[in-house]
Structures are given as C-alpha cells and as structure tokens.
Amino acid sequence: MDTLTANERSQLMAKIRSKNSMPEMLVRRLVHSLGYRYRLHCTDLPGTPDIVFRGLRKIILMHGCFWHGHPRCPNNRMPKSRLDFWVPKITGNRKRDLKNARELRKQGWSILVIWECQTKNAKKLLDRVSSFLSS
Ligand SMILES: [Zn+2]
C-alpha cells in the first residue's frame, strides 16, 4: 500500500530531487579539493548539467539511481505500488538523460556520469573523477 498523501509524496519528491543532494555535494567537495574550478547547473546547456568545467570542455553528471533509472542497480528498486505512475516517469527521465548526453557530446563535451551508488566507495570515486579530469 502506498500510504503517502499526495502532499507528502510531493514533499518527498522535492527532497529527493533537491539539487544539492548528498552525492552531488560529495563530488563537488572532491573536485574542489583537486583544485578544479567549475560552474553548477548550467542552464545554457542541454539538461542543465550539474558540474561543468568550461575550460576543459568536460561535464560531470550526477544521477540518482532511482530517479534516473540506473540499469541493474540494487539501489534502483521500483516501488511496489503505483507502477502506472512510476514506470513512465522513470523511463521518461532515462530517455531525457540519454538525449541530453547525446546532445552534449555532439557539441564537443566529454561526459562522466556518476551514479549515486558509485559515490559510496570514496577511493574509487576519487580515481574516476581525477582520471576523467586529467585525461
Ligand atoms: Zn546505482
């Protein structure tokens, strides 16, 4: 049973979708500590990418596993109810992500997608981010 009221659900959604989600803050701190400068949420680029390195022409996209439909991810479990609502919603997000990434690549940007579940191992995360930015 879905026990949330419509209001509670939209509050929860707002919280989950918050632009300054924990994994994003983590990655921002990490990038900052590596000494890179970046812009946040650039509205002039397709999909308003999260972390943009203009000079390097590189972008880091942070994807929440649930909202963005991380394939075969243990964090990405569909709710048991209201599938008629969630399935099209998540599928739509996923499609939009892929379309935006395609568009950005076409414009010459390199993209690193970091899924929420990949931020748990700090060492691995640091390796990925630093090799992406220094390549
Ligand atoms: Zn995941």
3-state secondary structure the chain: CCCCCHHHHHHHHHHHHCCCCHHHHHHHHHHHHCCCCCEECCCCCCCCCCEEECCCCEEEEEECCCCCCCCCCCCCCCCCCCHHHHHHHHHHHHHHHHHHHHHHHHCCCEEEEEEHHHHCCHHHHHHHHHHHHHC
pLDDT of residue 57: 97
Higher pLDDT, 59 or 121: 59
Q: Over the stretch 60-110, which tens digit does the pLDDT of each residue have?
A: 999 989 889 998 887 777 777 888 888 899 999 999 999 999 999 999 999
CA of 24 to the centre of ligand 1 (A): 14
- As residues whose CB is below 5 A from the ion ligand 1, the structure lists 65, 70, 73, 75, 115, 117
pTM reported for the whole predicted model:
0.81
pLDDT of residue 19: 53
CA of 64 to the centre of ligand 1 (A): 7
As a whole number, the mean pLDDT across the chain is 87
pLDDT of residue 17: 56
CA of 116 to the centre of ligand 1 (A): 6
pLDDT at 43 over 90: yes
